[in-house]
Amino acid sequence: MRIAGSIDIGGTRTKIGIVGEDGSIISRETMPTSLHGEPLEIVEAIGLALLPMLDAAKAQGHVTVGIGISVAGFLTADHSAMVHNANLPALREFPLRRALEERLSIECRLEVDSNAAVIAEYQHGAGRGSQRLLGVTVGTGLGGGVIIDGQLLRFNGECAGDLGHVIVERNGRLCTCGARGCLEAMVNTAALMERGGGRPVREIVESARKGEDWARKALAETGFWLGLGLASLSPIFSPDRIVVGGGVASAGDLLLGPTRASYRTHARPEFAQTDIIGSSFNGWDGIVGAASLFLDPVP
């Protein structure tokens, strides 16, 4: 089987894996991005983790066609480097594609993480069949990608723009971008942890599933702001479906229920019935989408 190595570099964690041409994840692992703050340290850590996976896949008879890399932030026009992301300053303007090709000795291709996530949903997940798909990923930040009639929307930073920085609350939380009340700042991991008394997201979600009121309220408030933000974005992109992924979305309907209610309250009537669906990949959409750069590229 044709396979691709895949890397998804986020502001907090980096995910690494091997993906098959059918979108299946053959092997995977994660490591903290924050423990490898210097660019070459990040590249070296990725190499140490990924090369044994590639060797194991080769021993099983698979053929590696390249390495897809999903990275949080805007890209240069030639997709050689990330040039803007307030949550990942170490990699800004660093020649990431070239450095990884030198370390891994194989062709690499770079994509914006929000694009990679929406590609995965469009090709193999909850976005299949959509004509106008909006995908958002909620974690350390909030990114969004758009596919219209089978083509990625690219008009700023090689993506649909910095969707997480539409302002939804003028007196809201301070965002890493320097503004207050950005959608990202109101719904990201830090915001949810703050509402949960500083507890980790996993603990908040587990407590909410057990019916603990404080945890359900933390997720409901996060969902309120997410729904408001998605309602604000809908007149721009006119989605027929919205897919929500990322670590915060692991809460499922405990988050998406309040999100849908808020969305329908705030959206213009023609968008009020737009489907809002959880991701199919439990946080691994980035590596599936990155692998598609070689296995099944979206224009």
Please give the average per-residue pLDDT across 154-172, as a whole number: 94
Give the pLDDT of residue 37.
61
pLDDT at position 10 is 86
Confidence band (pLDDT; 50, 70, 90) for 72? confident
pLDDT tens by residue, 75-86: 999 999 999 887
What tens digit of pLDDT does each residue of 135-148 get?
A: 999 998 999 999 99
Mean pLDDT of 237-254: 94
The span from the CA of 189 to the CA of 173, in Å, is 13
Summarised one tens digit per residue, pLDDT across range 99-152 is: 999 999 999 999 999 999 999 999 999 999 999 999 999 998 999 999 999 999
Task: Please write the tens of the pLDDT for every residue from 270-285.
Answer: 999 999 999 989 889 9
User: Domains (ranges, CATH) in the chain?
Assistant: 2-116+284-295 (3.30.420.40), 129-278 (3.30.420.40)
Per-residue model confidence (pLDDT) at position 36: 52
**Axis-axis angle for helices 285-295, 113-124 (nearest 10):** 80
* Alpha helices, DSSP H, located in 36-188: 39-59, 96-104, 113-124, 183-187
| Phi, psi (deg, nearest 5) at residue 15 | -110, 140
Q: What is the pLDDT of residue 34?
A: 64
CA-CA distance, 142 to 266, in Å (whole number)?
Answer: 20
pLDDT of amino acid 44: 93
